[in-house]
Structure 1
Amino acid sequence: MVNKFKALDFFCGGGGMTYGLKQSGIDVIAGIDLELNCKETYELNNLGSTFVHADITKLPLAYFEKHFNITKNDDYLVLVGCSPCQYYSLINSSKEKSKKSKDLLLDFQKFIKYYNPGYVLVENVPGIVTNKESVLPKFLAFLEKFGYKYIKYDVVNMSDYGVPQTRRRFSLIASRIDDIDLPIADNKKAILKDFIGVKNGFPKVKAGHKDYSDFNHSVAGLSEKSIKRLEKTPQDGGDRLAWKDDDELQLECFKGKDHHFKDTFGRMFWDKPGSTITTKFFSISNGRFAHPEENRAISIREGATLQTFPKNYIFKTNSMAETAKLIGNAVPPEYAKRLGKVITKRK
């Protein structure tokens, strides 16, 4: 019998990492997350993977041994820890509120120590490398001490790995079994026009459009004034400087600050990767999230597609904001698949 790789996906969210790993041939046994509203989306799209609603700081280490027959010292076991990273995020403003996320990597570390898996995967924000209070040095020292001879990590740009957005992320893969490396970058960047637009199955819609089907091509509403702003913003990469001298349209907070937050209210470019898909990607006031041509923000499904979720991935939530949070916090499935293939060696 051929041994099959299996994984536990800590901080799984809506299942982006799980979905990609499954595509690579790894059997993801369970996804663990504190947010219960991830459960339906996670299990619906990742059949056979069980959602475990738990706070890992309180979860008994033997839980997976008892409930899922996970054994210690399994060379074919992969532990994945993409912990929430608000504390190390460059765009976060409240360090007090996010302090809970600061040490989650060390809580994940306890499960590595207990199960001693063959492989460890971690994905996080670049700030985990540069922040002076980062727990990363402790985590790396732990891996080395406990026999993970092969550790590779870097800050990568997802647009080099089939994901059409300028998403820079810290990526780590460690093994005590064999020499490994991070996925090999593509020769060219993934760009917007190959993923969204009418020719890719996204019909033209207006701001405020509601799509009640599972496709969820829903778009946030806009004020009349914001629609006028977009009408004056050049297509394919235009920004708010196009209406900076218009007294009716210019915002007080931007006066005299032409080069501050310049992407706000900006349009994406067809021939470039899109902006980093955040949890607020449905709002043009939160970044360069306006459609390259249409006078609206990108839709929920367009955001999911730029995160490389397949078009039949169904998001089960109660609001647009909740769905955007699941999408924006996810590990892009395409990148997760490539990480998985490094382990399974499948071409």
Structure 2
Amino acid sequence: MIFYDFFSGCGGTSQGMREAGLTIRLGIDFDPDAARTYRKNFRSARFIEGDIRSLKAKDIAKYISSSRRRRPIVFGACAPCQPFSKQKRPSRQDDSRKDLLGEFHRFVRAYLPEYVFIENVPGLQSIDDETGPFARFLRLLAKLGYWHDHKVVVASHYGVPQHRRRLVLLASRLGPISLPKPSHGPGTRRRKLPSVWEAIGHLPPISAGETHPTIPNHRAAALSERNLLRIKATRAGSTRKDWPEDLVLDCHRGYDGHTDVYGRMAKNQPSSALTTRCISLSNGRFGHPVQHRAISVREAACLQNFPMKFEFLGNLESTGRQVGNAVPVAMARTFGKSILVHYRRYRKAKRR
């Protein structure tokens, strides 16, 4: 089974699908650093560095024609989620990226892949339910003869050490399809959710602003003396409520919102959802649970289930953004395996 990764970023979905047993044929993204990262880690795949809005369906024909008759194909898409984020919604109602799902549909319509996988923030589903991008996409899938199932899932229930809620869709032209059941949490054999420390506890300590000499991307952002005092005053799993009065920022006085910023992760629980600023102490609960700094790029990658050998290229800000934007590898792997199981059952039923 062959996988094509639209809006691939650095390749979180591709890595999960590869671990599930799919062959990665093509990645598409416009970010140059993500393109470099993808090419380095998926050397046998091809990559198109460009905006999908400027691509024609025929532009990927050469990557599909050689395999089309022999093996089924899977199209995956995780379009940029910022237009649908709760934090961005008030100022981004006219964001042109909202129609990227429609752009993806051009390729689905042209090649009719046996399977489609989509991951995005829950807000993609809730904005303008009847005429919004997700509702339109579902109607277009139905017209093309696809069965589908979709749901807002929690990533920690699929082996990801994060409280990350995402809208996921699986579609198939071969028959009715359902999302895989959770592997972790209540009602499963693994009732304990994966924790931060299970993901990052093996990494050696570094200081704020330091880069480890041998572990790729184990690099942490520097902290001002003031912010170093603030994180030292914050307990693991806690927030700025621990600070003495002289460390409180003026903008936080009398304000109870954004409680996660400057917070520390708890060791024995999943982290909060990583964002594009996941290595910045002031942008979320991204403080290391033990060391006095924000998590490193490598630690963020571990929380996204990337293997240690997966290397990210670019500067500190870019690599952190790539990791935060990625689909968690363990979740993509689970959905990739469910696609393979569905196809095997289809083949078995067809032979009867």
Superposition deviation, residue 54 in structure 1: 2.2
2:52 is paired with a residue whose SS is coil
Q: Give the 5 Å matches for 1:227-246.
A: 227-234=228-235, 236-243=236-243, 245-246=244-245
Which amino acid in the other structure matches residue 34 of structure 1?
Answer: F
Give the one of 158, 163, 167 matched to 1:161.
Answer: 158
Give the 5 Å matches for 1:318-337: 319-337=315-333
Cα contact 1:158–1:335 (8 A) shared by 2: yes
Distance in 2 of aligned mates of 1:98 and 1:232:
41
The aligned residue for residue 19 of structure 1 is 15
Where does residue 204 of structure 2 map in the other structure? 203
Give yes or no for the alignment of 1:55 onto 2:51.
Answer: yes
TM-score by length of 1: 0.91
Cα 1:178–1:68, aligned 2, differ >3 Å: closer, same or farther?
Answer: closer
Comparing 205-214 with 29-38, greater Cα deviation is found at 205-214
RMSD, matched Cα: 2.0
**Matching of residue 338 in structure 1 with residue 339 in structure 2:** no
Question: How far does the alpha carbon of each residue in 1:87-126 deviate from its partner, in whole angstroms, 9 at most, with x for none?
Answer: 1111226744971210000010011111111111111111
CA distance in 2, matches of 1:119, 1:58: 24
In structure 2, the CA distance between the partners of 1:28 and 1:298, relative to structure 1 (3 Å rule), is same
Structure 1 stretches lacking a partner, 5+ long: none
Partner residue, 2:137: 139
Q: Which runs of 4+ in 1 moved over 4 A?
A: 70-75
Q: CA deviation digits over 1:291-322, x for unaligned, max 9?
A: 111111111100000010011101111x1000
Residue matched to 1:79: 75
Asked whether the equivalents of residues 75 and 119 of structure 1 are also in contact (C-alpha less than 8 Å), the reply is no
Shift of 1:75: 7.2
Aligned partner letter, 2:194: A
1:75–1:177 contact (8 Å) kept in structure 2: no
What is aligned with 1:38?
34
Counterparts in 2 of 1:278 and 1:118: CA distance versus 1, 3 Å: same
Distance in 1, matches of 2:168 and 2:91, equals: 23
Give the alignment's TM-score, normalised by structure 2. Answer: 0.90
Contact conserved, 1:74 with 1:116, CA < 8 A, in 2?
no
Report the equivalent of 1:299. Answer: 296
Counterparts in 2 of 1:295 and 1:121: CA distance versus 1, 3 Å: same
Aligned partners of 1:212 and 1:69: how far apart in 2? 45
Aligned residue pairs total: 334
> Structure 2: how far apart are the matches of 1:221 and 1:90?
28
Pair 76,151 (structure 1): closer, same or farther in 2 beyond 3 Å: same
Change (3 A) 1:31 1:63: same
Match of 1:249 in 2: 247
CA shift for structure 1 position 333: 1.3
- In the TM superposition, what is the alpha-carbon distance from 1:193 to its structure 2 partner? 1.9
Q: Which one has a larger percent helix, Structure 1 or Structure 2?
A: 2
Within 1, Cα distance between the matches of 2:24 and 2:94?
28
Output the CA distance in 2 between the equivalents of 1:45 and 1:341: 21
2:254 aligned counterpart, secondary structure: coil
Q: Which consecutive unaligned segments of at least 5 residues does structure 2 have? A: 345-352
Matched AA of 2:228: I
Partner Cα separation in structure 1 for residue 302 and residue 102 of structure 2: 32
> 2:198 is matched by which residue type in structure 1?
D
Percent identity of equivalent pairs: 37
